[in-house]
């Protein structure tokens, strides 16, 4: 993000630092608010609706925010777009982890680990691909359109997720023989 802001959007170093700080500060707020909003929505609408709607709205807003940041010509709209996108990103990441817990059963760690592995792999590849696209096109906006497309596809994928149904059985019951000294 710092390179994109400075070289792609022509932010000064101070503007980049301020924007980056603001983006991640708002992410902290998103993490706090997510729990409150998610818990209340689940209470009134159920797990499946809540997870799907939070993810759908988050992805939708991220698509719009990233797209608008590519079209923006000055720092304020870019900064606002990045702040909004990161707010939704944090909300979506927490929704993903919560959904792993919802559907994981006794294999929640495997599902969460696999999801995180795929996400980190995608992030690693995107950092290389982003740079290559910039090198080929001499344009910092072109890879942002790829990001918009990936976010759109990610949002569509949530249509197939039902967080109210476990994909594995209930946890196995452990037979523990208590000795007289165990409480």
Q: What is the DSSP string of 36-76?
A: HHHHHHHHHH-HHHHHHHHHHHHHHHHHHHHHHHHH--SHH
pLDDT in tens, 77-98: 999 999 999 999 999 999 999 9
pLDDT in tens, 135-162: 999 988 899 999 999 999 999 999 898 8
User: Domain 2-160 class?
Assistant: mainly alpha
Please, which contacts does 104-109 make with residues 24 or more away whose CB atoms are closer than 8 Å? Answer: 104/166, 104/167, 104/168, 105/166, 105/167, 105/168, 105/169, 105/170, 105/171, 106/168, 106/169, 106/170, 106/171, 106/172, 107/168
CB 155 within 8 A of CB 91: no
Query: Alpha-carbon distance 116 to 96, whole Å?
Result: 10
The single-letter DSSP state of residue 164 is T
Count other Cβ atoms within 10 Å, centred on residue 165: 10
Q: Domain locations in the chain? A: 2-160
Is pTM beyond 0.85? Reply is no
């Amino acid at each position: 993000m710092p390179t994109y802001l400075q070289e792609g959007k022509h932010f000064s170093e101070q503007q980049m630092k301020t924007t980056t700080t603001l983006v991640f500060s708002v992410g902290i707020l998103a993490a706090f608010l997510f729990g409150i909003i998610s818990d209340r929505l689940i209470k009134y609408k159920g797990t499946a609706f809540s997870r799907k709607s939070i993810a759908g709205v988050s992805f939708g807003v991220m698509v719009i925010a990233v797209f608008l940041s590519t079209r923006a010509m000055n720092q304020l709209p870019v900064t606002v777009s990045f702040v909004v996108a990161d707010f939704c990103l944090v909300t979506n990441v927490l929704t993903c982890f919560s959904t792993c817990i919802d559907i994981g059963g006794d294999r929640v760690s495997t599902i969460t680990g696999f999801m995180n592995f795929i996400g980190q792999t995608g992030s690693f590849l995107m950092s290389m691909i982003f740079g290559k696209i910039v090198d080929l096109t001499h344009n910092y906006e072109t890879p942002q359109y790829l990001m918009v497309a990936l976010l759109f596809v990610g949002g569509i994928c949530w249509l197939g997720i039902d967080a109210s149904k476990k994909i594995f059985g209930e946890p196995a019951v452990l037979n523990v023989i208590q000795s007289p000294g165990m409480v």
